[in-house]
Amino acid sequence: MNIGILHLMHDKSATITDFTQALGPHVHLHWFTPKSHPLKHPDARIRPLSLTQALTMDAFIITGAPIDRLDFAAVHYYAEVAQLIDALAAAKLPQLNLCWGAMAALHHRYGIAKNPLPQKLFGAYAHRLDTPTPLLEGLPNGFLAPHARYVDIPLAALQSVADLTLHAATTDGHPLLVTVDHGREVYLFGHLEYRRNGLWQEHLREVGGPLPEHDTWSWQTTQDTFFQQWLKSLAAQPTAVAS
């Protein structure tokens, strides 16, 4: 199975390791960066985005990005990300959008705005299950997942769009997982790709940033469940081709 990833995270190598370990050895990952945002330090593993190549994948991931406090209009590569989102949707290619990628896609596709939080949502938090989904199969109410963002989308805004299904949120009302079209489009607001110490490493990169809450490897079961179930769903999609 071939999965394309638009890599927008700050730490290129750590993110490649995160997703490689989370998705496992039987998946071929193909890394891209926006043409409008070339890498400062070239990396042979990461190629300029090509929509033609993107549409040959069995699925596509858009990662988070350390720019969530910027307006979308101020992000110089947002238009290129929007083109990718449109192309994936038109081809009905399964997509997984994470954190900023999820908010960007929801803004572009459904006109949903993001709002600043009074302080960074940063740590591993307990979640409640709303609508059942195979992506979280077997996880109990109170399962843990990591979040790291300065902005959010209100649950009411997500629930007001008929096409969106909210599956899980923190116990104090921050969204974690939304899907469209029975899971063909997945919007994950947390960083389930993070490994042990992932939140702490983000803290060390951010000058003056807050300390993470509950920074332990407490979400490993959630990570394993989510990514295994997502890959299982891809194998059942008519576009997925095992290789």
CA distance 123 to 213: 4
Name the residue among 229, 206, 97 with its Cα closest to residue 148. Answer: 206
DSSP 154-188: -HHHHHTSTT-EEEEEETTS-EEEEEETTTTEEEE
Q: Mark whether 80 is an active-site residue.
A: no
Q: Give the integer Cα–Cα distance in Å for 169 and 166.
A: 8
For the purposes of burial, counting CB atoms within 10 Å of the CB of 63, is it exposed (0-12), middle (13-18) or buried (19 or more)? Answer: buried
Report residue 197 CA to chain centroid gap.
18
Binding site, by residue number, is 120, 205
Please answer whether residues 3 and 57 qualify as being in contact, where contact means their C-beta atoms are separated by less than 8 angstroms: yes
Among residues 108, 127, 174, 191, the one annotated as catalytic is 191
Q: How many CB atoms are located within 10 Å of the residue 17 CB?
A: 13
Picking from 123, 126, 149, 146, the residue whose alpha carbon sits closest to that of residue 211 is: 123
Catalytic: which of 7, 80, 99, 127? 99
CA distance linking residue 16 with residue 20, whole number of Å:
6
- Binding-site members for substrate are 120, 205
Per annotation, catalytic residue among 7, 147, 185, 193: 193
What is the H or E stretch that residue 54 is in?
Answer: helix 51-54
Decide if 181 contacts 143 (C-beta within 8 A).
Answer: no
82 three-state secondary structure: helix
Q: Which residues are catalytic?
A: 99, 191, 193
